[in-house]
Amino acid sequence: MREYQVCSNCVMDTTDTQIVFDEHGVCDHCHDFNDHVLPNWHPDAVGEREFQAVADKIKLEGQGKPFDCILGMSGGLDSSYLLHLAVKKYGLRPLVFHVDGGWNSDIAVSNIQMLVDGLGMDLYTEVINWEEMKDLQLAFFKSGVPHLDIPQDHAFVATLYHFANKHKIKYILNGGNVSTECVRNPLDWLYYGTDLRQIRDIHGRFGKRKLKTFPFSGILFHKFYLRYIKGVRVVKPLDYMPYSKKIAIDTLASTYGWRAYPQKHFESRFTRFYEGYWLPTRFGMDTRRVQFSSLILTKQMTREEALEELRKPAHNPATIDEEFDYIATKLDISSDELRDCMNLPKKSYRDYKNQRVLFNLGAAILKKLGVERAIKR
């Protein structure tokens, strides 16, 4: 067993089993950020000029069309703030697209509504077939892997891409950003959400019903076909400007009455349960380490503050039993059946068919081209 170690600069530790430390105890996430991300990241006047040019192009190409781009709205901080900026600051006319996977928290529903109303926009919502979503989620529980959030993640991404393709929308605004996400979740924690081979293998073994309408999108469809054949471009505006989590929350709160979530991705009740309780309790994987490390590297949090937060559990112990019952009831199983899944042998993505080789190859090419900087490993 490897001896426990935590990075001397961020809060990533040996619960990330592939982590590597240098002689000063600094981890490879920190080095990757300093060597590859930071030199290519311009959240300043240079970046803003660059994005202004992109925004002008989007507007020009969108003239006469009902929308000039599409924005996937989860209700989370990044997509909410992005919508605010896109409309108010850059005068873009995005189609606001929400995928309802069945797990929206009440706060998320009200946040989306307040934002859309405040901006005088319409919301386009696509609802995932609940019986199919449930079946796929249960299959992932039964498979024993840590990456239980793939059905939701995949549904959101695939629905958006298919919609953009069908309606010939050329620009996808994406809230992904270096500022709060520069450290990536290790592959052993959250495996690639678009590995169709893995999804089909797990569902084939543990699923009970056919997925007739569930949206699928393979890496070749959206990373190659859409990008290079159809010319659909994914733009991440938050990387071109100073983006601070605190300022974003304050701005949205004071302008729209938007309310912050206790943790990133907690707009979904499933993710709140999964990242707040299931993943840390069953696997010892605490995604707050990744989130806080990102904020430390971009100077929005100190290491001491992060360590202090990490001493508290990511879930609320007073309500976790209720939460357990809620998740089980929604999935149509008993709380005992759900608890049984908690005790299944622990598996990883390697225990099922996967396309990791293809993903690694794609990542290496994108890194060479300078499209992607940070490693996911």
Closest approach, Cβ 19 to Zn ion, in A, equals: 8
Determine the angle formed by the axes of helices 335-342 and 130-143, rounding to 10 degrees: 40
Closest approach, Cβ 27 to Zn ion, in A, equals: 3
Interface with Zn ion, residue 7, by CB under 5 A: yes
Q: Contacts with Zn ion in 20-49 (CB under 5 A)?
A: 27, 29-30
Interface with Zn ion, residue 287, by CB under 5 A: no
What is the spatial distance between Cα 316 and Cα 318, in angstroms, rounded to a whole number?
5
What is the spatial distance between Cα 159 and Cα 221, in angstroms, rounded to a whole number?
12
Return the biggest CA–CA distance within the chain: 63
Specify the residue, 96 or 306, whose C-beta has the smaller distance to Zn ion.
Answer: 306
Number of residues in contact with Zn ion, rule: CB under 5 A? 7
Interface with Zn ion, residue 9, by CB under 5 A: yes
Interface with Zn ion, residue 354, by CB under 5 A: no
Interface with Zn ion, residue 10, by CB under 5 A: yes
Stretch that binds Zn ion, among 10-18, 129-137, 159-167, 171-179 (CB under 5 A): 10-18
Q: How far is CA 354 from CA 192, 201, 221, 326, 358, in A?
A: 10, 8, 17, 31, 9
Interface with Zn ion, residue 306, by CB under 5 A: no
DSSP 90: T
Using DSSP, how many helices (H) and how many strands (E) does the chain show?
Answer: 16, 5
Interface with Zn ion, residue 139, by CB under 5 A: no
User: For the CA atoms of the chain, what is the radius of gyration?
Assistant: 20
Stretch that binds Zn ion, among 12-20, 187-195, 239-247, 367-375 (CB under 5 A): 12-20
Interface with Zn ion, residue 298, by CB under 5 A: no
DSSP characters over 14-43: TTSTT--B-TTS-BHHHHHIIIIIGGG---
Specify the residue, 12 or 82, whose C-beta has the smaller distance to Zn ion.
Answer: 12
Residues in touch with Zn ion (CB under 5 A): 7, 9-10, 12, 27, 29-30
